[in-house]
């Protein structure tokens, strides 16, 4: 008898007793012989950027006119290809301290020479913003 519930007991949806040691939770990098060779660079870059954002900024929900936090639903997702992504939402992002602001601005300025060669295809609005920010530093 067909019993689909038997697949619910495993995180990858396979039946009990199957060797799942080769399964990964990051299928976006491919699988089997066609796995992306840049998987480690991709994962490490994502982790480092996430850690830097958490180090530098406080993230908080926006507040309504009464001062109550506007909740962000983690269940509100859009399907983009095979990967569901969180729908856009609003939040309050601010630097953790003036020292952090100084460090981020200094690093942004020092990275100019590295990144300027990749900025030739920027949208006009983005190019204007980058030039304004660099002009203030």
| Residue at 126 is within a domain | yes
| Residue at 16 is within a domain | no
pTM of structure? 0.67
Q: How many domains does the chain have?
A: 1
Instruction: Write out pLDDT tens, residues 61-106.
Output: 999 999 999 988 878 888 777 777 888 888 999 999 999 999 999 9
| Residue at 116 is within a domain | yes
Q: Report the 10 Å Cβ neighbour count for 114.
A: 8
Distance CA 124, CA 121 (A): 9
| Residue at 79 is within a domain | no
Instruction: Write out pLDDT tens, residues 16-62.
Output: 777 777 777 777 788 778 888 998 999 999 999 999 999 999 999 99
The residue range of the domain holding 135 is 97-137
| Residue at 127 is within a domain | yes
Place of tokens 């990144």: 115
Residue 122: C-alpha distances to residues 99, 105, 107, 118, 133 (Å): 30, 20, 20, 8, 15
- Asked whether the beta carbons of 122 and 130 are under 8 A apart, the reply is yes
| Residue at 132 is within a domain | yes
| Residue at 85 is within a domain | no
| Residue at 32 is within a domain | no
Distance CA 109, CA 89 (A): 29
């Amino acid at each position: 008898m067909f019993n689909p519930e038997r697949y619910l007991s495993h995180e990858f949806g396979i039946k009990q007793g199957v060797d799942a040691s080769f399964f990964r939770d990051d299928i976006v990098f491919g699988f089997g012989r066609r796995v992306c060779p840049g998987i480690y660079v991709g994962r490490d870059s994502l982790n480092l950027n996430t850690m830097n954002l958490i180090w530098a900024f406080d993230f908080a929900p926006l507040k309504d006119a009464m001062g109550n936090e506007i909740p962000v639903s983690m269940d509100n997702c859009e399907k983009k290809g095979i990967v569901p992504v969180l729908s856009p939402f609003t939040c309050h992002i601010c630097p953790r301290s003036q020292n952090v602001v100084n460090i981020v601005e200094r690093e942004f300025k020092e990275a100019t020479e590295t990144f300027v060669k990749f900025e030739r295809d920027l949208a006009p609005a983005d190019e204007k913003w980058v030039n304004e920010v660099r002009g203030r530093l």
